[in-house]
Structure 1
Amino acid sequence: MPVYTVHAPSADGDIRGATDRFVFVRDGFSFWAFVFGPLWLLYQRLWLAFAGYMMLSIVVEVMLSLLRASGGIRFAVMAVIALLMGLEAVSLRRWTLSRRKWRQLGVVVADDREAAERRFFDRWTTMRGLDFDPTTVDRGAPPPTRNGPRQPPQLPRGDIVGLFPQPGMPR
């Protein structure tokens, strides 16, 4: 089943009023980015990724021409770049959204985009109360520790940590 990440624009006010602007990004290989890499980047308005793609393409073409590579090698190298574009296109889109200060609200597993939207908003409306602020959700803090001075773990004296159970034992 496909996995979708849900992104919301950075709103200074209430994020619940911007639910029509939420973006659902499907994880996985992007066929259209593989076939039409630069055009897909322009269509998605990924300007920095487009500039990087064009710079990479130009540098690779110059290097291949300096090495006097044959047409088959040029095609193979550009096919590998296109394959990498198809594999990483979704990551580039997420990176651009985060660079534009969009916030990832969640992950949804569903058959298609409409089902992902229904599943996300069903869960979102049942979990959220009136006092919920989605911008304060902690996503990835380390687990809580005990209060008190931090001490290193105590090892029994005389034991060796590693592969040999006793010091001086034959191997």
Structure 2
Amino acid sequence: MAVYTVHQPPLAKGENTPDPARFTFVRDGFYAWGFVLSFFWMLRHRLWLVAVLFVALSVLLEIGLRYAGVSSGWRGLMFLALAFLIGLEGATLRRWTLKRRGYTNVGVVVADNQDDAERRFFVNWQAGKRPNAAPPPAQAASIVRMAGRTEFPRSGQAEVIGSFPEPERRV
């Protein structure tokens, strides 16, 4: 199962609701094509600024490593590491670009593939449900602020799960 983040585009002129065809689903995980063909993968996903920064970083890295007298084997290893980083952070780069374009993250969907993720998201979206929205805290209204400290309501259990058997008490 893959995890997809769903990004809603900004409203176009004359639109009251966003067009479902313009929503973007970004899969979390390693992007193999981002690793193998980094620059072309960026162009394919319209990551123009990321592609320019990648080329600039690659040129500066090459010049710096040549100036430092690093052998071609180590330079190749550095570029391989950079490409691996692009493969690992491909989803983050796509989300950053979408945010810069005005898209908003509206949910997270877990599905086997992108078609199933779209189906699950839009079924919930049409029903008026917010996908994976956290329910409001049950006792949020009963949080008390006293003398600069925030006290949260106690659950009635005296034991604390974790390394310490008793909660710390302050006087």
Q: Bin the TM-score by the shorter chain.
A: 0.7 to 0.9
Paired residue for 1:5? 5
- With normalisation by structure 2, the TM-score equals 0.75
Q: What letter corresponds to residue 11 of structure 2 in structure 1?
A: A
Q: What letter corresponds to residue 56 of structure 1 in structure 2?
A: L
Query: Match of 1:68, SS?
Result: coil
1:144 offset after TM fit, Å? 5.3
Closer, same or farther: CA 10–77 of 1 in aligned 2, 3 Å: same
Query: Match of 1:10, SS?
Result: coil
1:112 offset after TM fit, Å? 0.4
- Which moves more between the two structures, 77-86 or 5-14? 5-14
Paired residue for 2:161? none
Paired residue for 1:104? 105
CA distance in 2, matches of 1:102, 1:3: 18
Whether 2:153 is the aligned partner of 1:153: answer no
CA distance in 2, matches of 1:32, 1:45: 14
Q: What letter corresponds to residue 14 of structure 1 in structure 2?
A: N
- CA RMSD in angstroms, aligned pairs only: 2.8
Closer, same or farther: CA 147–28 of 1 in aligned 2, 3 Å: closer
State the percentage of identical aligned residues.
40
CA distance in 2, matches of 1:61, 1:32: 22
1:54 offset after TM fit, Å? 0.8
Query: Match of 1:15, SS?
Result: coil
Closer, same or farther: CA 151–119 of 1 in aligned 2, 3 Å: same
Query: Match of 1:45, SS?
Result: coil
Greater C-alpha radius of gyration: 1
Higher normalized helix content (fraction of residues) = 1
CA distance in 1, matches of 2:8, 2:64: 41
Whether 2:83 is the aligned partner of 1:87: answer no
Paired residue for 1:168? none
CA distance in 2, matches of 1:119, 1:148: 39
CA distance in 2, matches of 1:7, 1:92: 14
- Write out aligned runs for 1:7-156 (5 A): 7-11=7-11, 13-16=15-18, 18-128=19-129, 151-153=147-149
Give ranges in structure 2 of 5+ residues lacking alignment. 151-167
Deviations 1:26-49 (A, max 9, x none): 111100010111111112111110
Q: What letter corresponds to residue 109 of structure 2 in structure 1?
A: V
CA distance in 1, matches of 2:145, 2:105: 36
Closer, same or farther: CA 119–148 of 1 in aligned 2, 3 Å: closer
Q: What letter corresponds to residue 47 of structure 1 in structure 2?
A: W
CA distance in 1, matches of 2:23, 2:8: 5
Paired residue for 2:154? none
Higher normalized strand content (fraction of residues) = 2
